[in-house]
Chain A
Amino acid sequence: MHDILQTNLLSPITLCFILGIVAKLVRSEFSLPKDIYLGISIYLLLALGLKGGVELAEASFSSIISPVLVTLLIGCITPISSYLILRKLGRFSVADAAGIAAHYGSVSAVTFIAAQSFINEMSTKMPSLPPLEGYMPTLLALLESPGIHIALAIGAIKTASKGHGTAKVLHEVLTGRTMILLLGGLIVGYLIGHKNWEVIAPFYDSKGGVFRGLLCLFLLEMGIVAGSRMGDLKKVGLFLIGFGTIVPLLHGTLAIALGTWAGLSVGGCTVLAAMAASASYIAAPPAVRVTLPDANPSYYLTAALAITFPFNVVLGIPIYFELAKFFHA
């Protein structure tokens, strides 16, 4: 475990992320220009989609059906379990509990990428590790939206909220940049086949230098964003700090158990656990702000960005890897 933690901690993306947090903590003015940050996020999502699509075209229906169903099940469980814990144990208001649950029910694509990079790294160190399932980005796309809708529906019903209609939010989430690039990329990747992929692979392959280099820059900026919310930690209270670290472990363990049952490899289970454990901070915040105006943005943004994201990137992913190995033993 010590070795694995060290591997993760000394990986370029984790160190760049920590550098970003440190830059913010020492009050450096530095940050990545917004358009570059957006540009890199577009590149990363499209790259994920393309590679996932190429691999999906080669996967048999019978091999992916169980992982797909398990992913959808996780997407339905995590918003409800988050909501109940926040409401019953944390005594949060309906709007706050539903708002935070929408974030934890959905998924953070960057956490997914960090987990995938970690598995790639580990497989070079441990040749006996079976290769990571190539269709994982398909599962990422599936997990993006159900959680947001379930949590928002709970919030809207319980508060008789007069915000946006559900159809409107559905449209916003389904046409957001994550979904268009990821789903669009999957379809393009599916259609182009291996030959065409090999031409563009040096630029888009997640094992390649371009992808990993840009990922470092992206994580650096994520560190700055997370660091800028660290000051709010005092405001959100101990319960939410505990919630932001323990609930990912619960959801991660659930995902590993279900993933193992569905036949995913150790790597696949680790990535699925990272997805289930992560909290969305791109698609969920605007949807929650508009639908549940009573929910305090300080709670959900701080929990997702300043607590759960750093936890998963630094500690969570190696823990899920160990748990996945344990479940496979």
Chain B
Amino acid sequence: MKLTNLKLVTIITEAVLEEQVIRELKSLGAKGYTVVASHGEGSRGMRAGELPGQNIRIETLVGADVAHKIMEHISAHYFKHYAIVCYISDAAVLRGEKYI
């Protein structure tokens, strides 16, 4: 079994940003992504229900260089104004060529 080491980038943020963030992930080199609705609490307070809109969790499997580009982009454009959490974890996948 041939495993490839990749990075799993997870972004948890406000639902209104979904379209914009996904467009940017793709232009930075992500080949695919998964979005799930989520809710929770953080430093900017509880986020749940219809208003101001629930949270989303976006996940994408990418190579290390793209993962770092994504982190840099997110920190430069979103940290100041939006409720957003972004982290990288290690992942090992089959069919590594699908993702890079």
Contact = CB atoms under 8 A, between A and B. Distances in A.
Nearest to B83: A297
A289 B52 contact: yes
Interface string B22-63: 000000000000000000000000000111110000000000
A165 to B, nearest CB: 11
Contacts of A294: 81
Given A164-B20, A286-B16, A293 B81 contact: yes
The DSSP consensus for interface residues of chain A is helix
B99 to A, nearest CB: 29
A95 B39 CA distance: 27
A228 B49 CA distance: 10
Contact of A285 (B20, B49, B52): B52
Interface string A287-321: 00110011001000100010000000000000000
Contact of A301 (B52, B80, B81): B52
Interface string B1-18: 000000000000010110
A192 B81 CA distance: 48
A234 interface: no
A7 to B, nearest CB: 30
Contacts, number: 30
B87 interface: no
Contacts of A218: none
B16 A290 contact: yes
A37 interface: yes
A287 B2 CA distance: 46
The 8 closest A-B pairs by CB, nearest first: A293-B81, A286-B16, A289-B16, A297-B52, A290-B16, A301-B51, A301-B52, A285-B52
Interface of A: 31, 34, 37, 164, 225, 228, 281, 285-286, 289-290, 293-294, 297, 301, 305
27 contacts: A31-B49, A34-B49, A34-B50, A164-B20, A225-B50, A225-B51, A228-B49, A281-B51, A285-B51, A285-B52, A285-B53, A286-B16, A286-B53, A289-B14, A289-B16, A289-B52, A289-B53, A290-B16, A290-B17, A290-B20, A293-B80, A293-B81, A293-B82, A294-B81, A297-B52, A301-B51, A301-B52
Given A289-B14, A294-B81, 19 more contacts: A31-B49, A34-B49, A34-B50, A37-B50, A164-B20, A225-B50, A228-B49, A285-B51, A285-B52, A289-B16, A289-B52, A290-B16, A290-B17, A293-B80, A293-B81, A293-B82, A301-B51, A301-B52, A305-B51
